[in-house]
Amino acid sequence: MTPPRRQERGLVRPYVVTDGRAHPTRNTFDLVTLVMAHSDRPLGALSPEKRKLMELCLGGALSVAEIAGHLHLPVSVTKVLLGDLVDSGHLTTRSPIPSAQLPEAQLLQEVLDGLRARL
């Protein structure tokens, strides 16, 4: 008895989407790198996956992880596509804002002591 076949819906192998490349041209994408699209760039010559990525990013800044999730693509494939679009000037990226460093407990204690002395 053969198992039932899953319904295929436009399944394309990842190596086809990336033209056989496994790594992006630039290796600067983190899962939390923010991606913003430029609306003035032409989309006509882009592959369907790149066009979907651009349309998704035109709504505002998204992280690499969010983009991969929305496109239902592996993160590695998404990074290759992002690298191509950054190289062509369609996208810009920036690192997320780092979390603020907490002050040391000693400094906080000195401020508290100073405030108590004034009251």
What percentage of the chain carries pLDDT values higher than 90? 28
Q: Is residue 53 a contact partner of residue 71, using CB atoms and an 8 Å limit?
A: yes
d(CA 4, CA 44): 39
Determine the pLDDT at residue 39.
Answer: 87
Dihedral Cα 112, 113, 115, 119, nearest 10 deg: 130
pLDDT by residue (tens digit) across 15-73?
Answer: 666 766 766 776 678 899 999 999 888 888 888 888 999 999 998 899 999 999 998 98
Tell me the residue ranges of DSSP E strands in 1-119: 34-37, 62-63, 91-94
b/e burial code for range 81-92 (CB count within 10 A of at least 16 → b) = bbbbbbeeebbe
